[in-house]
Structure 1
Amino acid sequence: MTDSTSETRQSASEYDPYHLTPEGIKEPPQGLRSSLRYLGPGLILSASIVGSGELVVTTTLGAEAGFALLWLVIISTLVKVAVQVELARWTISTGQPALTGYNKVPPKLGRIGWINLVWICLALPKQLLLGGIVGGVAIACSLLFPIAGPPLGFASTSIWTGIIVVFTIGLLYSNRYRMVELGSVALVVTFAALTIALAVGLPFTPFAYSADDVLSGLSFQIPAGALGAAVAMFGITGVGADEITYYTYWCAEKGYARWAGPPDGSEEWARRANGWIKVMQKDAWLSWAVYTFSTFAFYLMGASVLHPQGLVPGGSNEMITTLSHIYTDVLGEWASIGFLIAAIAVLMSTLFANLPSWSRMYTNFLAIVGVFDWKHTQTRTRWIRIFTVALPILWGAMYLFIQAPVLMIQIAGILTGVLLMAIVVAVWYLRRVEIDHRLRGGSLFSVSLVVSSIAILVLGAYSVLEVFGFTLA
């Protein structure tokens, strides 16, 4: 390697969050107020989570089961946070992203660890979810501005699918962290605020719910026939396997690991790392608050407005029009246009957050199998951009072929539960062999991590049974 090439690499590494250098060290902030400017990765997760899971799966479950599963909203969002935090703790202490960590868990098949084999087997079908999101945006756009033939006809939705694919690629091709962070927040805030306001205002409408309705939904019961939908909801609402995985990439790119500095084992490094871990925990809990309130609101509206009328979003292009009843039945027909605009915003927020996240994960997988060196900044950026172009095209094609957004999203939810079990194994392995004992959480966090892990394993086991056709009563 020539000296000039070495200098170019070193210059690039100075701005590369995956290169931990003494020059990148920054002291962690003290207190909540001074930490606020360093939050952000969790907001990208919120933009992703408040899309498909809350708008489609949670509302559908409320329409099917009424208030009976309201308790699951809280459990499904809360129970996975400890696993998310623990994996991000490992990233801050090592500077490495999740798939690199998964690959360290034995046994291996050649260069690939067994968890990454599980990940790639389930990651490919999980693209169904994003295909369903592209379809949802296309349907909403076609209902708002039909281009050719009926709004729900194949011609109009196909043209809109192409437009959305091209627009998404153009918007995210640069893949800059700051743009992804700000764009994700901007897309979700208006819709989430409107949805929460409507849920709070429902008691003053013909679709009012009472305190008794809410209390009945907190009785920890699952009505007959709703178990499969409940498992899909657990897998897809809150942080799922995908979000837990790609949260580590955004924590690294925000700068937490780089600011902590190279893990030299010194007391100063441990102090800085613990400081940035505390910032990450604030970020994770802020994200939890945002998507939990949104999830709760979506479920309330599904149970209050759709369930009494027997309206359940189906596995066809009628999904958006059925969901629009939440707004039109409360505010009147004029609200349909506002709903479509809001639906486009929230579903686009899912694409906006997921495309750069999946591009990074697939790029990391290529590095693991030996296609290139992950720490080579320019090559890594080039591969991320290749996936930024290829993935939206794949998602659009999946939607046009399957034409069933809700079904696509629910299948992906079941598969997420399966991958969550493997992630729990990885988290405990990395905690035992790679995380410095000085960086581990206290006894209260350890207990919450155990509870979180057990819940994920139990629900994941049920998901496996579902995949193979076994149904529990």
Structure 2
Amino acid sequence: MSHEVGHEDVKDVPVGWRARLRHVGPGIMAAATGVGAGDLVATMVAGSRYGYTLLWAVIVGAIFKIALAEAVGRWHLTSGRTMLSGWRTLGKWVLVYFGAYAIVWGFVYGATAMSASGLPLNALFPGVPLRVWAIICGLLGLALVWYGRYALIEKIMTVFVGIMFVTVVGTAILVTPNLLDGVEGLVPRLPSGSFVYALGLIGGVGGTITMAAYGYWTMAKGWRSSKWLSMMRLDNTVGYVTTAIFVVAMLIVGAELLMGTDVVSGDEGLLMLGDVLAQDYGQWARIPFLIGFFAVSFTSLIGVWNGVSLLFADWWRTWRLPRDTVETVEDYDRKAGERSPAFRTYVLWLTFPPMLLLFLDRPFQLTVAYGALGALFMPFLAGTLLVLLNSSRVPREGRSRWLSNALLIICLALFAYLAVDELIGLFQDD
């Protein structure tokens, strides 16, 4: 069946490992978007404090992300509905929550993504102010998403992931990892004071709203029925295994190069690492790392500009549907794709209003609202997937079995704990 322009209309599921690997894409998009500079810093801090001890937490976290993204993809492929359409069946409150979350989160994240992308460019070319670099990155992301379509975005993201792999993993190899300590780190242990860091590695790295965008990217790829389930699972696994490799690499760097050092929090921590590399190995080590830092940050920006805008466009479509409307994927294609007014409106929202935060301090009330909504999204995703995929909303082949249910329940409990911890921290800061 042919679909709207902009989608890869792949009629036959590829056969054989080589052919299947050539079709990998949405998983790389989701994984690269979900892991930003802040996630790498958090991992580096854990390595600098506890060495290789929390390596097991990275592996466990990757397994949970694979389970969540697989559930999202399975919903899209077997139900014939989008994620927003599924949420709509749970009640209007779900759409109210998501709409409020997307608007507030997008405003603050836009400034964060632009700043993170501008930092390494400012370090490489200090003659241009950080604020200017941040605005340039935002405008470049806008142009790519506004004029490009999924196929182009995927190719660009894949190139950046290659750069990330060479630079981030190359840095880990440069600092000469201790393989024996690494093997010992696969045994679950919790040194004194490490509990929160372990939970952060399991639940935080790579876990964002972009996980919900995964199903939309599979649709843009042309995967539209249950026959693509095996391909989706391979794609999803490749994406999050790649993420795990990045995170392990940063843990190694923290353990070998920064052990016992008070690492600067925030994205500035990666600039600090670049300076340490320059001191220990020379500028030839610092410059490639800063390029990798830019790749990490800019892939998150592009992925959010595209993926979350797709979510918002579908939210707008779904919000306006009459109560008893029977929905189809074709309805989504006509009204909520990459050329829809709602998609472009949200891309503009991510780009221009957040530029105000590059000139002003973040309003405290906005930060609190952003933190509260953001902390609640991942347990919301896990909880709603549990309900949707164990109901008659999907055919029997799409329903969750014991392993998927067990992992989703653990994810729900873990993310709920992290959400409560985040909210308590916000009120204590208040």
Question: For the superposition of Structure 1 and Structure 2, which TM-score range results when normalised by the shorter chain?
Answer: 0.7 to 0.9
Name 1:418's counterpart in structure 2: 376
Distance 1:301 1:249 in 2: 34
Name 1:435's counterpart in structure 2: 394
Report if aligned partners of 2:95, 2:319 keep a CA contact under 8 Å in 1. no
Cα deviations by residue, 1:42-80 (Å, 9 ceiling, x for unpaired):
121232134335433222332343323221111111123
Q: 1:116 to 1:426 in 2, by over 3 A?
A: same
Report if aligned partners of 2:47, 2:252 keep a CA contact under 8 Å in 1. yes
Report if aligned partners of 2:34, 2:300 keep a CA contact under 8 Å in 1. yes
Cα deviations by residue, 1:402-461 (Å, 9 ceiling, x for unpaired):
489xxx8xx9898655322222222222222222113447xxxx2331231122122122
Determine whether 1:314 maps to 2:265: yes
Distance 2:308 2:85 in 1: 15
Determine whether 1:56 maps to 2:41: yes
Q: 1:229 to 1:183 in 2, by over 3 A?
A: same
| Number of residue-to-residue matches in the alignment | 412
Report if aligned partners of 2:26, 2:154 keep a CA contact under 8 Å in 1. yes
Name 2:295's counterpart in structure 1: 345
Name 1:455's counterpart in structure 2: 410
Q: How do residues 381-396 of structure 1 correspond to structure 2 at under 5 angstroms?
A: 381-396=340-355
Q: 1:37 to 1:223 in 2, by over 3 A?
A: same
Q: 1:14 to 1:159 in 2, by over 3 A?
A: closer
Report if aligned partners of 2:73, 2:218 keep a CA contact under 8 Å in 1. yes
Report if aligned partners of 1:71, 1:218 keep a CA contact under 8 Å in 2. yes
Q: 1:210 to 1:292 in 2, by over 3 A?
A: closer
Q: How do residues 157-236 of structure 1 correspond to structure 2 at under 5 angstroms?
A: 157-203=130-176, 209=178, 211=180, 213-236=181-204
Distance 1:86 1:182 in 2: 25
Q: 1:300 to 1:378 in 2, by over 3 A?
A: closer
Report if aligned partners of 2:7, 2:151 keep a CA contact under 8 Å in 1. no
Distance 1:214 1:414 in 2: 35
Q: How do residues 11-26 of structure 1 correspond to structure 2 at under 5 angstroms?
A: 14-15=4-5, 26=11
Report if aligned partners of 1:195, 1:294 keep a CA contact under 8 Å in 2. yes
Per-residue deviation, 1:371: 8.3
Determine whether 1:301 maps to 2:253: yes
Per-residue deviation, 1:296: 0.8
Report if aligned partners of 2:117, 2:297 keep a CA contact under 8 Å in 1. yes
Amino acid across the alignment from 2:178: Y
Name 2:325's counterpart in structure 1: none
Q: Which is worse superposed, 31-40 or 80-89?
A: 31-40
Distance 1:43 1:414 in 2: 28
Report if aligned partners of 1:241, 1:423 keep a CA contact under 8 Å in 2. no
Q: Which is worse superposed, 158-167 or 247-256?
A: 158-167
Q: Which runs of 5+ in 1 are unaligned?
A: 1-10, 19-23, 149-155, 261-272
Q: 1:339 to 1:397 in 2, by over 3 A?
A: farther
User: What RMSD, in angstroms, separates the aligned Cα atoms of the two structures?
Assistant: 3.3
Secondary structure of the residue aligned to 2:340 is helix
| Match of residue 145, structure 1, among 122, 125, 129 | 125
Q: Which is worse superposed, 114-123 or 128-137?
A: 114-123
Q: 1:333 to 1:222 in 2, by over 3 A?
A: same
Report if aligned partners of 2:131, 2:358 keep a CA contact under 8 Å in 1. no
Amino acid across the alignment from 2:308: W
Amino acid across the alignment from 1:430: L
Distance 1:40 1:32 in 2: 14
Per-residue deviation, 1:254: 0.6
Q: 1:196 to 1:237 in 2, by over 3 A?
A: same
Distance 2:111 2:22 in 1: 34
Q: 1:468 to 1:320 in 2, by over 3 A?
A: closer
Cα deviations by residue, 1:113-133 (Å, 9 ceiling, x for unpaired):
x33344344444544445323
Distance 1:296 1:234 in 2: 12
Report if aligned partners of 2:4, 2:334 keep a CA contact under 8 Å in 1. no
Name 2:327's counterpart in structure 1: none
Name 2:79's counterpart in structure 1: 94
TM-score normalised by L of structure 2? 0.84
Name 1:79's counterpart in structure 2: 64
Determine whether 1:243 maps to 2:210: yes
TM-score normalised by L of structure 1? 0.77
- Which structure has the bigger radius of gyration? 1
Distance 1:426 1:413 in 2: 20
Name 1:277's counterpart in structure 2: 229
Amino acid across the alignment from 2:237: W
Distance 1:215 1:325 in 2: 29
Determine whether 1:464 maps to 2:419: yes
Amino acid across the alignment from 2:5: Y
| Match of residue 336, structure 1, among 286, 289, 292 | 286
Secondary structure of the residue aligned to 1:67 is coil
Q: 1:196 to 1:16 in 2, by over 3 A?
A: closer
Q: Which runs of 5+ in 2 are unaligned?
A: 323-330
Report if aligned partners of 1:87, 1:248 keep a CA contact under 8 Å in 2. yes
Per-residue deviation, 1:281: 0.9
Distance 2:124 2:131 in 1: 14
Q: 1:456 to 1:349 in 2, by over 3 A?
A: same
